[in-house]
A and B are shown apart, each in its own frame.
Chain A
Amino acid sequence: MNPFTQLDGLVAPLDRANVDTDAIIPKQFLKSIKRSGFGPNAFDEWRYLDVGQPGQDNSKRLLNPDFVLNKPRYQGAQILLTRDNFGCGSSREHAPWALEDYGFRVLIGPSFADIFFNNSFKNGLLPIKLDAAEVDELFRQCEASEGYRLKVDLAAQTITRPDGKSIHFDIDPFRKECLLNGWDDIGLTLRHADKIRAFEDRRRAEHPYYYS
């Protein structure tokens, strides 16, 4: 996993609640057996005017000019502003894969669905929960000024606005450490292999019916 430390990035606003994982990456693209290449199909049904299929040359498809991420001013955005319950629905990790492949590194919203939230951290994507009022203000500022950027500092747990205001955000210390260092979860867990083995031996003795 790529580490995440700091980012000074262009912001794009996706002003709707309950953006589900079917919208982030529609099911026809889940047939891939790879982890990469989902970016061109992120938000496929909103982003293009036709119905997308795997294996298509996406550069030849007609873009929906009304979809916010297609607006010239948001090209190259790395920070996505969202509303409540972003990432609800399925557990497909293809959703964070698609967002990361599209170019996003930070998501900011009032709330995220649990499984999506978890999956994001495994892919170097930082989801940040802020108070609804703070998010409202970011939407206002972003829409009001073209080229709106935010500075995100994970170590300091701050978002800095162009007007200089610094906003603190919370994150689990363990997740923060993993993301800052780009640590591989599995490698970390296997340091406890002896403990896992001991637990398993105990469990097998106490509850043999789970091992028959």
Chain B
Amino acid sequence: MHAQTLYEKLWSSHVVHQEADGTALIYIDRHLVHEVTSPQAFEGLKLAGRKPWRISSIVATADHNTPTDHWDLGIQDPVSRQQVETLDANIREVGSLAYFPFKDARQGIVHVIGPENGATLPGMTVVCGDSHTSTHGAFGCLAHGIGTSEVEHVLATQCLLQKKSKTMLVRVDGQLGRGVTAKDIVLAIIGRIGTAGGTGYAMEFGGSAIRALSMEGRMTICNMAIEAGARAGLVGVDETTIEYLKDRPFSPKGALWDKAVEYWRTLHSDEGAEFDKVVELKAEDIQPQVTWGTSPEMVTTVDGRVPDPAAVTDPVRREGMERALKYMGLEANTPITDIAVDQVFIGSCTNSRIEDLREAAAVARGRSKAANVKRVLVVPGSGLVKRQAEEEGLDKIFVAAGFEWREPGCSMCLAMNADRLEPGERCASTSNRNFEGRQGAGGRTHLVSPAMAAAAAVTGHFTDVRTLA
């Protein structure tokens, strides 16, 4: 048998049927559901008189619209409340393997709760009406975002119509420097290949620097595969994966666990497997990253400067840069460390897990929010992350530094709830998108790692976290 990539293994083990042009019906093992992209799908199902195919594939939670403070007051915005209540009603009617509603102890961001409950397992196909479903590929499963029509399609048929992707290997070898994290790796990758660099590919991350990462770090990287254009990110299964999954609520137990692990150990790209494209980075070359524009590919290192559009010849690209600088309120050639921030956001499906909060707390410990920073939000990814952080005393470190310790949810990553930037406000954010208006109309987002976000919070401007001893 020829050497196979992980993607090929996952793909071929899920093909139910194939059309003449290669369009295939792919079987879906896990369907994650949240309130924003599912109401129209449930309605469509009902109008057509169809029943869900396999209820036990569904894991659901409310995350995008939920407030992060004053849970005692419920959801104040009536439109947000209606969307969350619609999910409650749909799940009540249809059923699920697990539902973590608003205020539940295990509620949280859908891409945090899947893995931490063992609902995301190697070898699965995982879908969700959310582009950051790529996160779950960190577990050696084929995971990607889908639209609402496809949510309905999966509910009704347990399958998706798909064309096979091309394969890309992003290999990062070597050892990361102190203060450099998974977030910096993935921003550096996007800076290298661009936001469309991975379009049409399943993007596998490999090499010694990836192997050395925790599951949290691998999730951060796969999370932003979509920001490089790839719907699916992947990391092969190893002991780190298996260790993480042991004894999680929905992980298999006893003899089933042993049988599962035996299979999971085969879920990596074979020696000599060929990829359609290979990109290589050296871990030692990666520095802390800060985005300066309105696309994640508009990124530089913390010791760099805002680039000058005048140096770019391609007119579409130059105009894009000029527009971005105008929106961001930045002058070309400004040192990144001269840029002051108004708000800091530590959270999102990219960076709201326990390790992220530990990294931020290590910088915040014994320091205080700078006077010019209006607000620092720390939003844990789930109720379980929140509880663990509190057991470790991280909440006390944040509160002592003048940061706000909030309830879990998507929060200011996309500002569907009340957490948002005012027009013109500038934010150091651990989220994944710096698009115009993403964190609030007119808001200006700079993407950074949790450690770099905390460093900006305590100094008032972007600061190389390595200089804070």
Q: Which residues on A sit within 8 Å (CB–CB) of B157?
A: 186, 189-190, 193, 196
Q: Is A195 an interface residue (CB 8 A)?
A: yes
> Are B124 and A210 in touch, CB under 8 angstroms?
yes
Report yes or no: A91 in contact with B147, Cβ–Cβ below 8 A. yes
Interface residues of A in 12-33 (CB under 8 A from B): 15-18, 20, 22-23, 26-28, 30-33
Let me know if A208 is at the binding interface, CB within 8 A. Answer: yes
Q: Is B36 an interface residue (CB 8 A)?
A: yes
> Is B288 engaged at the interface, CB distance under 8 Å to the other chain?
no
A96 to B124, CA, bound (A): 29
- The answer to whether A190 and B21 touch (CB under 8 A), given A27-B416, A207-B263, is no
B136-160 contact mask (Cβ, 8 Å, vs A): 1 or 0: 0000000011111110110011110
Bound state CA distance, A88 and B295, in angstroms?
10
* Residue from A85, A189, A203, A209 within 8 A of B121 (CB atoms): A209
A185 at the interface (CB under 8 A from B): yes
Partner of A111 from B21, B199, B441 at Cβ < 8 Å: B199
For A93, what are the chain B residues with a Cβ–Cβ distance below 8 Å? Answer: 37, 40, 129, 147-149
B167 interface residue per 8 A CB criterion: no
- Which residues from chain A contact B153 at a C-beta distance below 8 Å? 185-186, 189
Contacts of B446 in A (CB 8 A): none
Question: What residue in chain B is nearest A203 (Cβ atoms)?
Answer: B27
Please give, as numbers and ranges, the residues of chain A lying within 8 Å of B416 by CB-CB distance.
Answer: 27-28, 30-31
CB distance from B173 to the nearest CB of A (A): 28
- With beta carbons under 8 angstroms apart, the residue of A85, A89, A92, A173 that contacts B199 is A85
User: Given the complex of chains A and B, what is the CA–CA distance between A186 and B48 in angstroms?
Assistant: 10
A122 touches B196 (CB 8 A): no
Measured in the bound complex, the distance between the Cα atoms of B199 and A113 in whole Å is: 6
The docked-state distance in angstroms from the alpha carbon of A208 to that of B260 is 8
CB A149 to nearest CB in B, in angstroms, measures 24
Which of B129, B256, B319 lies in contact with A212, CB distance below 8 A? B256
Inter-chain contact A114/B16, CB cutoff 8 Å: no
Query: How far is it, in angstroms, between the C-alpha of A2 and the C-alpha of B309 when the chains are bound?
Result: 44
Q: Enumerate A67-111 residues with CB–CB distance to B below 8 Å.
A: 83-85, 88-93, 96, 111
B123 at the interface (CB under 8 A from A): yes
Q: Report yes or no: B441 in contact with A113, Cβ–Cβ below 8 A.
A: no
Flag if A20 contacts B433 (CB, 8 Å): yes
Q: Is B80 an interface residue (CB 8 A)?
A: yes
Q: Which of A55, A83, A115, A199 has the most CB of B within 10 A?
A: A115
The answer to whether B414 and A114 have CB atoms under 8 Å apart is no
Give the CA-CA distance A92 to B441 in the complex, in Å.
18
* Cα distance, A28 to B133, chains bound together (Å): 21
Report if A31-B50 is in contact (Cβ < 8 Å); known contacts: A17-B316, A210-B29. Answer: no
Interface string of A140-172 (1 = CB under 8 A from B): 000000000000000000000000000000001
Contact A195 B196 (CB under 8 A): no
Instruction: Please give the distance in Å from B33's CB to the nearest CB on chain A.
Output: 13
Closest B residue to A186 by beta carbon equals: B156
Chain A nearest CB: distance from B125 CB in Å? 10
Convert B1-36 into 0s and 1s, putting 1 for each residue whose CB lies closer than 8 angstroms to a CB of A: 000000000000000110111110101010000001
B195 contacts A88, C-beta separation under 8 Å: yes
Residues of chain A contacted by B54 (CB below 8 angstroms): 200
Q: Which residue of A lies closest to B48 (CB)?
A: A186
Q: Roughly how many angstroms separate A85 CA and B43 CA in the complex, as a whole number?
A: 31
Given the known inter-chain contacts A20-B433, A189-B153, please indicate yes or no for A196 contacting B16, CB distance below 8 A. yes
Residue of B nearest to A185 (CB): B153
A26, A119, A209: most-surrounded residue (chain B CB, <10 A):
A209
Q: How far is the CB of A43 from chain B (nearest CB, A)?
A: 11
Given contacts A22-B437, A90-B130, A185-B161, contact A115 B48 (CB under 8 A): no
Q: Complex Cα distance A193/B19, Å? A: 15
Q: How far is the CB of A208 from chain B (nearest CB, A)?
A: 6
Known: A45-B437, A212-B256. A18 touches B152 (CB 8 A): no
Are A118 and B437 in contact, with the CB atoms below 8 A? no
**Chain A residues near B161 (CB, 8 Å)?**
174, 185, 189
> B residues within 8 A CB of A20?
295, 433, 435
A-B contacts, 10 of them at CB < 8 A, read A18-B196, A22-B437, A45-B437, A88-B196, A88-B229, A115-B147, A190-B156, A195-B25, A209-B257, A210-B123
Pairs A-B, 3 closest by C-beta atoms? A119-B147, A93-B147, A209-B252
Binding site for A on B (CB under 8 A): 16-17, 19-23, 25, 27, 29, 36-37, 39-40, 43, 48, 50, 53-54, 56, 64-65, 77, 79-80, 82-83, 86, 121, 123-124, 129-131, 133, 144-150, 152-153, 156-159, 161, 163, 195-196, 199-200, 226, 229-231, 252, 256-257, 259-260, 263, 295, 316-317, 319-320, 323, 414-416, 423, 433, 435-438, 441-442
